Amino acid sequence: MKAINEAWCCQIELTNFCGHDCLYCSRYNKHIRKDQKYHMDLSFLEEALNSLKDWPAKIGIIGGEPLRYPDFERCCKLIRSKFPREKMGLWTSGGSRWNELKPIIDQTFGFVAYNEHNKQQQETCRHQPITLSIFDLVPDAGLRDKLINDCWVQRTWCPTITPKGAFFCEIAGALDIITDGPGGYDLTPDWWKRTPENFQDQVSRYCNLCGMAIPYPRELIKNKIEKFSRATFSLFKKLGLPNMEDDKIEVITEQLDEAMINENAETWYPGNYRGDNQEDSNSMEGKGSTIFGN
C-alpha cells in the first residue's frame, strides 16, 4: 500500500443518491438503506475542502450522483471560493439536470469524468464482484494480506471524504456507510498525511469484507444475480440492507488457492470498468494484481 498523499486525487462524496443500480457498484448503491442515504451538509463540505487546502493533487466531487445534490449551484460556488478550476474534477452520469448545470460545471471543474451508464455500457462494461469477501475466498492469511496490500483500488484510485469522515480508500468509506461503521478520521489539516502503518485500523476493519483485491472474473453490469460470499451475505442480511432477496443472490462458497489466483491474475483487469471505450490491455490501471510479476 502507498501513503494517502501519493494518490492522484482525493474524492469528496457529496451525496449517495443515485438513479442507477449497477451490479457491484463501488458504493453498494442498491444496498443502501433509506436511513443511510445522505446529502452532505454545505458546512461539512466546507470543512472537507478546508482540510485539503495543502493537498498536493486533484480533488474530485463524486457520489452517488453529484447532480442530484439539492443545492449544487451553492456547492460549486463554495468550491470556486476555495480552489482554482484546474484543481477540481467531477464524476457524473449526467441525467436530467446535465444541460441546465453544464455552464456551472464548466466554470467549476477542469476535468469531468462523464460515465452515462447507458444501454450500450450495460451490455459491455464489467465490474469486479465487490460483495465477495476476500476473507471467505482466500483462506491463506499470508496470501490474503499480500493481495490486500497490492489492491488495485488503493494503488490506482482515491482516498475519500464522506459525511462520516476521511478514509484511506473509497471502498472503505462506502463500507463504513452500509455497515453502520464508526466513521472515518477527523478532518484535521494533516489527515491525508497518513502512511500505511497509520491507517491499518481502517484496513483491518474493512478490507477483509471487500472483494476488489481478489483476482476473480468480472461480470456485466446488466446482470441481475449478485454474487455474495458467506460473510458478506450474513452481514448484509443482519443489517437489513435492501435487495437481498434469495432470487437476486448467489452465495459463493468456493475458496481459491495460490495457483488458482495466479492463473486468474494473468488476464485480470478489474480497473477497466469502461469496457465500452477501451480494451482490457489498454486499461490505464493495468492488471489488477502485480504480486505474481504480471
Percentage of the chain surpassing pLDDT 90? Answer: 89
Summarize pLDDT for 171-219 with one digit per residue, the tens: 999 999 999 999 999 999 999 999 999 999 999 999 999 999 999 999 9
| pLDDT score of 160 | 98
Q: Tally helices (H) and strands (E) across the chain.
A: 11, 10
What's the total number of domains in the chain?
A: 2
Has residue 46 got a pLDDT over 80? yes
Residue 36 lies in a domain: yes
Domain co-membership, 59 together with 126: no
Has residue 273 got a pLDDT over 90? no
| pLDDT score of 282 | 81
Domain co-membership, 130 together with 29: no
Confidence of residue 29 (pLDDT cuts 50, 70, 90): very high
Has residue 294 got a pLDDT over 80? no
Q: Please report, for the domain that includes residue 54, its CATH number.
A: 3.20.20.70
Mean pLDDT, range 224-250, rounded to an integer:
97
Q: Whose CA is closest to 16, among 200, 191, 202, 173?
A: 173
Mean pLDDT, range 86-91, rounded to an integer:
98
C-alpha cell at position 32: 443502501
Domain co-membership, 135 together with 230: yes
Residue with grid cell 469522515, as numbered in its chain: 165
Domain that holds residue 238: 122-156+195-282
Distance of alpha carbon 273 from alpha carbon 221, whole angstroms = 9
Domain co-membership, 86 together with 130: no
Domain co-membership, 8 together with 102: yes
Average model confidence (pLDDT) for the chain? 96
Mean pLDDT, range 124-137, rounded to an integer:
96
Distance of alpha carbon 203 from alpha carbon 196, whole angstroms = 9
What is the full DSSP assignment across 211-250?
A: -TTS----EETT---EEEEHHHHHHHHHTT-SS--GGGEE
CB 38 within 8 A of CB 63: no
| 3-class state of residue 98 by DSSP | helix
